[in-house]
Amino acid sequence: MPKLYVVATPIGNLNDLTSRMRDALEAADLIAAEDTRVTMKLLNHWDLKKPLIYCHRHNEEDKAPHIVERMLSENLTVALTCDAGTPGISDPGYLLVRACWEAGIPVEPICGPSAVVTALSASGFDAKEFAFYGFLPREKKFLREKLDSIRRAGVPVFVLYESPHRVVDLVEQLAEVWPECMLCVCSDLTKRYEKMYRGAAPEVLAQLQANPNVDKGEYCMAVDISMLPPMEEKAAPQITAELFLLSRILEGDDLTEAVDAAREAGYPRNELYKAKLKISEMFEE
């Protein structure tokens, strides 16, 4: 019977490899990898030889049905891997997992490292409730809108990813918007030059700015906003959803971005759905 292993892999330290990871890769007839070159290093570490195919964010939608078709017709066991950490967590993989579920193929997770949980565990923040938002928008306007949305959601702690070239800018924005919030910014988790910065946002900003190598490495940060007062409810929108979407499009948003902004502004989903359809039809005419 075909089977899918969802195999977490180390986020930087090969000592985090487990016997279950090895067993899953050894049992696989085929490995669906985000980057075959990265996964090949793991296979070489264990002296395993397996056929690999690319399954990444740019081709997964097309690849997933073909992989499932092969699994069913050839009775294949497939191992799904990403470059580092757990597939599907801000990485490709969920479409293949979903397709396997829909086809009745058993799915077995092989647990392992995740930067999200690793950073959170080292933060000292109360994580009974937390959210993960991946990478936040780059543009300041959309970033501020997203931060407002996060605060309105009422989640006390959340985790983000950020690139080394933008991490200082992001922390600068957090220090400006929420100077009281606490941060735990982690760089190169589990690697030789792992580093953590913890404190109120302005303090962490100063620590980062003092590091001449801040633009190197991979960043994951936990943010604690539990000390902030509740956010005041926004007044009900004064214009129709359709007009709001059109105004955002005229300002340069595409339709998806305009809908996201409208949702954050408080427009009901059913009203937004109708407005989106109407505007889509307008642009098709």
What are the backbone dihedrals phi and psi of residue 119, each rounded to the nearest 5 degrees, phi first?
A: -65, -40
In CATH, what class is 3-113? alpha beta
Is the four-CA dihedral 110, 114, 118, 121 of positive or negative sign? negative
How many Å apart are CA 142 and CA 137, to the nearest integer?
A: 6
The two three-digit tokens of residue 226, written as one number? 């539990």
Please compute Rg for the chain using Cα positions: 22
Residue 79 exposed, middle or buried by CB count within 10 Å (0-12, 13-18, 19+): buried
Kindly report the number of other CB atoms within 10 A of residue 222's CB atom: 26
| pLDDT tens-digit map of 81-123 | 999 999 999 889 999 999 999 999 999 999 999 999 999 999 9
Which residues lie below 8 Å from residue 6, measured CB to CB, with a gap of 6+? Answer: 80, 86, 87, 88, 93, 97, 107, 108, 109, 110
Domain ranges of the chain: 3-113, 116-224, 241-284
Q: Which of 172 and 282 is assigned the larger pLDDT?
A: 172
How confident is the prediction for the chain on average, in pLDDT? Answer: 92
What is this structure's pTM? 0.77
For the sheet containing 195-200, what is the strand order? Answer: 131-135, 157-162, 219-224, 182-187, 195-200
| pLDDT tens-digit map of 220-265 | 999 999 999 877 655 555 688 889 889 888 888 888 888 888 887 7
Domain 116-224, what architecture?
Answer: 2-Layer Sandwich (3.30)
Beta strands in 3-128 (DSSP E): 3-7, 30-33, 52-54, 77-81, 107-110
Q: To 10 degrees, what angle do helices 140-153 and 255-264 make?
A: 40
SS3 69: helix
Residue 255 exposed, middle or buried by CB count within 10 Å (0-12, 13-18, 19+): middle
